[in-house]
C-alpha cells in the first residue's frame, strides 16, 4: 500500500504556479529524499503534504484516505522544520508534550511518550531546559522528538541538518536513517545537499521548477540521469 499518493497535485500562490501537477507514490516505510535547487518548490510540496497549504488541483492520499481538505492535526503526519520552530518560552519537555496535550491525551501517556522519545534521542538530561540553553544539535533533536511523540505514519523533514556543522551533520544523518528503521515509518526528506540525498535515500526525487525530472534509486539517478539537469545536479560523470 502506498503511504503517500499524489495525483496531478497543483499548488499556486496567486498567479505563481509553484507545482503545476505532480504525480508521485511513496511506499510504506520508504525513505524518499527530495532534491532540487533553491526555489523549486520543495518546502511548498512538504507544506502541502502536511496540510499547511491548501491545494489548487489534483488529489492527495495518505494511506488510503483522501486528505485534500483534512487539517494538519488529523493527517497522521509530523514535520520537522529547518529552523526547528521550537517554542522559546517552553522547556524541552513542554515543547514535546504540547501537541499531545492539544489532542487531549492523558497526562501519564504523554509523560511516557516524552520519556521514551527523549531516551531514543539522548536528550533526557535536557528535558527541563529551554531551547535557548541548548546547542544547535540538541535543538535539532528536540524538534525530532516533538515529531516522534506523535507517533505519525509519515515524517516530513525540511532541510533539518542545514544549521549544523559538517561533522554533526554526518552524525545526525546516520541517526535519522537508523531512526527510520527503528520506527518503521515513511520519511520524506528535503535537502539541497547531494551527499545527503545519495547516502540516505531509498529513492531520490529530483525536482526543477515544481516538475519532477527523475525518480529512482541513488544508483539509477547517478548512473543513468534522465537529462542534463539531473546529471549536473547530481554530479554524474558525463
Ligand atoms: P524551495 O523549498 O525548493 O527552496 P519553496 O517551496 O520555498 O522552494 O518556494 C517555491 C516558490 O514559491 C518560490 O518561487 C517562492 O518564492 C514561492 N513561495 C513560497 N512560499 C510562498 C508564499 N507563502 N507566498 C508566495 N510565494 C511563495
Ligand atoms: Mg525550502
Predicted complex ipTM:
0.98
Decide: 41 in ligand 1 pocket, CB within 6 A: yes
> How confident is the model at residue 1, as a pLDDT?
57
Decide: 40 in ligand 1 pocket, CB within 6 A: yes
Collect all residues with Cβ–Cβ distance below 8 Å to 131 and sequence separation of at least 6.
Answer: 84, 86, 87, 88, 92, 95, 139, 142
* Closest protein CA for atom 15 of ligand 1: 39
> How confident is the model at residue 92, as a pLDDT?
97
> How confident is the model at residue 100, as a pLDDT?
93
Tell me how far the alpha carbon of residue 101 lies from the centroid of ligand 1, in angstroms.
32
Collect all residues with Cβ–Cβ distance below 8 Å to 180 and sequence separation of at least 6.
Answer: 29, 31, 155, 187
End-to-end CA distance of the chain: 37
Q: Are 143 and 119 in contact (CB under 8 A)?
A: no
Q: Which residues pair with 2 in a beta bridge?
A: 27
> How confident is the model at residue 164, as a pLDDT?
86
> How confident is the model at residue 22, as a pLDDT?
98
- Give me 186's grid cell: 515513511
Helices (H) and strands (E) counted in the chain, each on its own, are 8, 10
Which of 41, 190, 209 to mutate to test ligand 1, by most ligand atoms within 8 A of the CB atom?
A: 41
Alpha helices in the chain (DSSP H): 42-50, 92-102, 107-120, 136-148, 166-183, 194-200, 218-223, 228-234
> How confident is the model at residue 69, as a pLDDT?
95
Atom of ligand 1 nearest to the CA of 46: 6
Decide: 42 in ligand 1 pocket, CB within 6 A: yes
For the chain, 238 residues long, give each residue's pLDDT as a single digit of tens.
569 999 999 999 999 999 999 999 999 999 999 999 999 999 999 999 999 999 999 999 999 899 999 999 889 899 998 888 899 999 999 999 999 999 899 999 999 999 999 999 999 999 999 999 999 999 999 999 999 999 999 999 999 888 888 888 888 899 899 889 888 899 999 998 888 999 999 999 999 999 999 999 999 999 999 999 999 998 877 6
> How confident is the model at residue 82, as a pLDDT?
85
> How confident is the model at residue 192, as a pLDDT?
85
Amino acid at each position: 500500500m502506498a503511504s503517500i499518493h499524489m495525483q496531478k497535485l497543483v499548488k499556486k500562490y496567486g498567479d505563481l504556479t509553484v507545482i503545476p501537477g505532480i504525480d508521485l507514490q511513496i511506499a510504506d516505510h520508504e525513505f524518499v529524499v527530495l532534491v532540487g535547487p533553491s526555489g523549486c518548490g520543495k518546502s511548498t510540496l512538504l507544506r502541502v503534504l502536511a496540510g499547511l497549504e491548501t491545494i489548487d488541483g489534483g488529489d492527495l492520499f495518505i494511506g488510503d484516505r483522501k486528505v485534500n481538505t483534512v487539517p494538519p492535526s488529523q493527517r497522521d503526519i509530523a514535520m520537522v522544520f529547518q529552523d526547528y520552530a521550537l517554542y522559546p518560552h517552553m522547556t524541552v519537555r513542554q515543547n514535546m508534550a504540547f501537541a499531545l496535550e492539544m489532542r487531549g491525551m492523558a497526562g501519564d501517556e504523554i509523560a511516557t511518550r516524552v520519556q521514551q522519545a527523549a531516551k531514543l534521542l539522548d536528550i533526557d538530561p535536557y528535558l527541563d531546559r529551554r531551547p535557548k540553553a541548548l546547542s544547535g544539535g540538541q535543538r535539532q533533536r528536540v524538534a525530532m522528538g516533538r515529531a516522534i511523540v506523535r507517533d505519525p505514519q509519515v515524517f516530513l523533514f525540511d532541510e533539518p541538518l542545514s544549521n549544523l556543522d559538517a561533522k554533526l551533520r554526518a552524525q545526525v544523518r546516520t541517526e535519522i536513517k537508523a531512526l527510520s528503521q527503528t520506527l518503521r515509518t515513511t520519511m520524506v526528506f528535503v535537502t539541497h545537499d547531494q551527499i545527503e540525498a545519495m547516502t540516505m535515500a531509498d529513492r531520490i526525487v529530483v525536482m526543477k521548477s515544481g516538475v519532477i525530472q527523475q525518480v529512482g534509486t541513488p544508483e539509477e539517478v547517478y548512473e543513468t540521469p534522465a537529462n542534463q539537469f539531473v546529471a549536473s545536479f547530481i554530479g554524474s560523470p558525463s
